[in-house]
A and B are shown apart, each in its own frame.
Chain A
Amino acid sequence: MEKYFDVTYIWDTLPQLIPFLKVTFMVAGLSVLFGTILGFILALMKLGTSKIAKKIANCYTTIIRCTPSIVLLFLVYYGLPAIASNFGTDLNTLQTAVFVVITFSIQFGALMSEVMRTAYEAIDRGQFEAAVSVGLSPAQAFRRIVLPQAFVVALPNFGNSFLELMKEGSLAYTIGLVDIMGKASLIISNNYNSHSLEIYLGLSLIYWVLSILIEQLFSKLEKIFSKGKQLIKTT
């Protein structure tokens, strides 16, 4: 009888999967880029004076937070082409990666808007007032005083959200994107489902190492940027 569990399979799958990290990173990177822009706009809406804008932004965040990524993914995947076909454009030929990026930008935007809002609110109002009172314009005060401090506050949460995004991104295999998760499920179906455990373990190993590295990176970054903060305090 064949052995059920063979450790060598774990090592064999790693070199097959690692080239596909490129796709995972590309999707995650683009989603972070667009998501951060969206999050910034939403955060502005939440912090602004307009009550309607605030309501809309809060509603958006609640709705997205209550939706499982996989459901959002399929809604975008099936929904967007259907909406577009009403306007006479055909989106069915679009690459799946585009839908994945759209989905996770929508999701990351909601996360980021909260991260940015809390970071902005964590900075004492007096900082801004002090900056204006020494003659900076409001825009300058925001750019030179509030932003650098808010950035440090936001950094750990940004890191967490990024990790979350990378992990949720694995669900993109369901609509046929071939990232590391997609490649793993392809290998498994090529093997007629044998040794799937080893392949999944190899996959989890990659994710694990990756998330530890990203965590380390963000804690390093946090240290670098907090240094300035300490200097201001001591002088």
Chain B
Amino acid sequence: MSVGLDYQFLVKTFFIALSGVPTALIITIVSLLIALPLGFLLALSRINRIPVISQLARVYVSFVRGTPVIVQIFIIFTSVPLLLKPIFEEYHVKTNIYDINPIWYAFIVFSLNTTAILIEVFRSAISTVSKGQLEAAYSVGLNNVQAFRRIIIPQTLVVALPNICTATVNLIKATSLGYALSLKEINLRAQVAANVGYNYIEAYIDIFLVYLLLCSLVEYLFKLYEKRVRKYKAVDA
């Protein structure tokens, strides 16, 4: 085992790891775009106790929160081809299922996962807004959509934002498991580079640094946004 770090390799691999950032960010953004509205709607269904959907959402949340992300990844990765195969054969789609870009699996896994977490986040956030707010909005003549868009959602957002931030950071961290899908993100790129000369320590230090930079940046941006959203609250009150 080598003593001391190979600094040249350290610097070189840092940029290799950095080149995986766009992949991680795309997965994060797409998953959030799917999960935010879906999570909000399902949270509403839980609060209003809409039959069937509410129970399904409950089981779904419990399952996703109760199992490791890596197991979820493996389940999706092995089940989706099985499900798609008959459909593809039925409609004579020429694409080979096993040639699909792994990023699609990543989108499925991480948006399903984030949806479950956001359901809980929104559920607790919506329940902090008092019912009087909605009634007041109706009484001044707003319809349902307007009441939610102008009154409920802005207030919910203030409460939910710190938790959404945590969920986002966790999501970014979870994309490091994309290696299981042979997805070329930060982790796998650096690992592959390290395979040549067994420079695993340097590679993992680089991955560590990249995630540290990425997550602190995201946390900082959320803090800024939170300040802006909160300002409204101060003016209102």
Q: Footprint of B on A, CB under 8 Å?
A: 4-5, 62-63, 65-72, 74-75, 78-79, 81-82, 85-86, 92, 163, 167-168, 170-171, 181, 196-197, 200-201, 203-204, 207-208, 210-212
Contacts and interface: CB of A to CB of B under 8 A. Distances in A.
B26 to A, nearest CB: 17
B170 to A, nearest CB: 9
Given A71-B208, A78-B200, A211-B66, A204 B71 contact: yes
B204 A197 contact: no
Given A67-B173, A67-B212, A208 B1 contact: no
A68 B174 contact: yes
Highest count of chain B CB atoms <10 Å: which of A71, A75, A167: A71
B68 A82 contact: no
A171 B200 CA distance: 18
Contact of B66 (A71, A78, A181, A208): A208
A212 B66 contact: yes
A180 B134 CA distance: 48
B204 A71 contact: yes
B72 interface: yes
Interface string B190-229: 0000000000110011011001101110010000000000
Contact of A170 (B71, B169, B215): B71
B63 interface: yes
A181 B62 contact: no
B204 A211 contact: no
Nearest to B191: A74
Contacts of B2: 82
A207 B75 contact: no
Given A66-B212, A70-B187, A71-B176, A79 B201 contact: yes
Nearest to A170: B68
A211 B63 CA distance: 9
A204 B204 contact: no
A106 B204 CA distance: 17
Highest count of chain B CB atoms <10 Å: which of A4, A72, A79, A197: A197
Contact of B201 (A63, A82, A181, A200): A82
B233 interface: no
A63 B208 CA distance: 9
Nearest to A198: B78
Contacts of A65: 169, 215
Interface residues of B, number: 37
A208 B67 CA distance: 6
Given A66-B211, A68-B211, A167-B68, A81 B1 contact: yes
Contact of B62 (A74, A196, A208): A208
Interface of B: 1-4, 62-63, 65-72, 74-75, 78-79, 82, 169, 173-174, 176-177, 187, 200-201, 204-205, 207-208, 211-212, 214-216, 219
Contacts of B67: 167, 204, 207-208, 211
A169 to B, nearest CB: 8
Contacts of A81: 1
B200 A74 contact: yes
Nearest to A76: B204
Contacts of A92: 1
A212 B208 contact: no
Given A79-B201, A85-B3, A170-B68, A200 B74 contact: yes
A86 B65 CA distance: 42
A92 B200 CA distance: 15
Contact of A68 (B3, B68, B173): B173
B201 A70 contact: no
Contacts of B66: 163, 167, 207-208, 210-212
B59 to A, nearest CB: 10
B216 A75 contact: no
Contacts of B74: 196, 200
B141 to A, nearest CB: 41
A211 B65 contact: yes
Contact of A167 (B69, B216, B219): B69
B75 A75 contact: no
Contacts of A74: 200, 204
Contact of B176 (A70, A86, A181, A197): A70
Contact of B75 (A170, A200, A212): A200
Contacts of A203: 71
Contacts of B208: 67, 71-72, 75
